Each structure stands twice: as structure tokens, then as C-alpha cells.
Amino acid sequence: MTLKLGELAKALGVKLEGDESLEISRLNEIQVATSQEVSFLSNSKYLKYAKSTQAAALIVPEDMDIEYPNLLRSPNPQQSMLMALKLLNQKVRECQPGIHSTALIDPDVTIPDSAEIGSGVTIGKGVDLGENIILESNVIVGQNSKLGDNTHLYPNVVLYEESILGDNCIIHSGTVIGSDGFGFAVESGEIQKIPQTGNVVLGKQVEIGANCAIDRGSIGATTIGDGTKLDNLVHVAHSVRIGKNCFLTAQVAIAGSSILGDRVQMGGQSGVIGHLQVGNDVSIATRGGVTRDVPDGTMVSGFPARPHRDELRIEAIIQKLPELYKAVKTLEKQVNKS
């Protein structure tokens, strides 16, 4: 999409300083932006690039001290950048209604006229599909599953039986939803499988990245609340309950039957052991290992995870250990001499 700089400023709701007639084709990084592109500068450490960039204009904070021919001064540069991305860069994947000839669909399933069913898609008995659904190549939808309106499943997504997805969900390639949880019992020295009889229920506007595994509940449902986003390579074990508008980044793992409140944020490679409760508005730092319940509004880090300030103090002390060790050895020598 191409916009004049004045039109872009109006769409973003920001103040323009410069030539409103310039045509802008997309948003790009400041280091590589061209004379037809807009870029952004919200961190002062990148100010050096303002001298070399070819960008037609820069999105900057309202109070930034900067000289540049064309500026879009914003009270929230990050939000303005996201809006510009949607306006200029985003290529919306429009639904192309129709059923590919190689799709395998149970004869009892009704396919809405608005749905796009790609090559090699398999749809089991009793499946309920909403409007404007996109199922790309080789998607498998198990029997008695239900998909809400505007849901988009990328190639090779697998939904086991009885999975339920709300409206506007996005599931990326390679993700498996509804596989058996890791439930076993040892009896007389033998490992016996515990039947996994629940399902998975996703709320509205849930997005799940590539190659994630969301296990079905052992008895009830594994649930993920409205608006929650999962990065690639996330594992959610059986009977876990995740609240609304949570962010789980790459390689996060949540063990069975743990509960996450609303607006929980988990950094990469962090985890929660089983049967714990994590409150609302909790932040778990990268590689944080949660081994006990976490109250609302807490930030934790480290392993085992503890309040972030405590972890920082411990890290500071650890950095001084070589110095402390030398001091102790010196004192030992002095004591032995005396």
C-alpha cells in the first residue's frame, strides 16, 4: 500500500514536520530504509543512524531532540510503528472459498460456502466449521471438533478429536492440538498409561506459533483464554489452564494441571512445574523456573524462580565470589601464621 506522508500522519494521529506530499510505500528498519520508506527511532542509542539513513521520514517520540527533514512525532512511537506496519507492510491473507479436489471430508460434515479447504485436508465426522475459515494444505481436523469464524490453520496443523477453537484463532504450521498428555502410573514395576479423556478449548483471538504441542486434558479440558499468544516451540501439558491475554515466548513449558491467570508473561525457556497457580499480571523472566505458587502482580526470575529483586541481589553477590574467596584464603593464612 502507498500513502502520502500527510495521509500517513493523519492515519497514525501524529504531528508531521516536513513534506506531506511524499509518497511512502512501506516501513523498514532505519539502517536499510530507502527514500520511499518510513522508519522509526524510539531509542536514543540509535540516533547515530539518523545521519546515514535514506528513510523518507522517521517516527520519533514527541520530545526527541533530532534534526531530520521529515518527522512524525508520536506520543507512543511503538504503537505508531505497529499501526504503520499494518497500513503499509501487512499482506492480509484473504480467504479464497472453495474445496480442493484432494481434500478428504466426512460426508456428514457441512462446509460453509465461505470456507477455504486446501489440498490434502482431512476433516473427520461431526466437525463443525464456522464462516470464512482457512484450512491450508494437509491440515487434519479430528472428529467432533469445532472451529469458530475466521479461524486460520496453516499447513500441517493437526487437531485431535473434540478440539474447540473460538473465533479468529490462528494456528501456525506443525502445531499439534489435543495430543495425549504425559500421564502414566507405575504398578508392580510396570508403566501403565492413564487414559487422556479430555480435550482442548481455545478462546477467541488465540494465536499459536509453529511446532507447539497443546495436550488434551486427562479428564476435563486444557484451556487457553481469549487473546492469548504463544510463540513457536511452546508446550502446554494436560489439564493446564491459561488465562486471557497472556504472552508465552519460545520454548516455554507448563507442566500438567498448573493454572496461569490473566496477562501472564513468560520469557523464553521459562517453565512452570505441575499443579501450581500463577496469579494475574505475573512476569516470569527468561529461563525462570517456577517451583511454587506466584501471587498476583509479581515479577520472578532465576531457578528456582524468586522475586526478581532478590534474584538480582544474589547475582550481584555471585559476581563477587572470586574476590571473597581470595579474601577468605588470605585470612586463613594470617590465622595459621598466628
Residues marked active site are found at 238
Helix, strand, coil shares, percent, the chain, to 5: 15, 30, 55
Respond yes or no on whether the N-terminal peptide bond of residue 107 is cis (omega within 30° of 0). Answer: no
Contact 265, 243 (CB under 8 A): no
Contact 17, 73 (CB under 8 A): yes
Which helix (H) or strand (E) covers residue 319, if one does?
Answer: helix 308-319
Q: Which residues contact 236 (CB under 8 A, 6 or more apart)?
A: 212, 213, 214, 215, 222, 224, 230, 242, 254
Neighbours of 212 (CB within 10 A): 23
DSSP conformation class of 232: S
Q: Which residues contact 25 (CB under 8 A, 6 or more apart)?
A: 1, 2, 36, 37, 88
Distance CA 74, CA 76 (A): 5
Residue by residue, DSSP assigns 75-128 as: SSHHHHHHHHIIIII--------EE-TT-EE-TTPPPPTT-EE-TT-EE-TT-E
Distance CA 83, CA 94 (A): 19
Contact 178, 161 (CB under 8 A): yes
DSSP conformation class of 18: S
Task: Fill in the amino acid letter for 245.
Answer: N
**Residue 260 phi/psi, 5° resolution?**
-110, 135
Query: To the nearest 10°, the Cα dihedral for 232, 234, 239, 245?
Result: -60
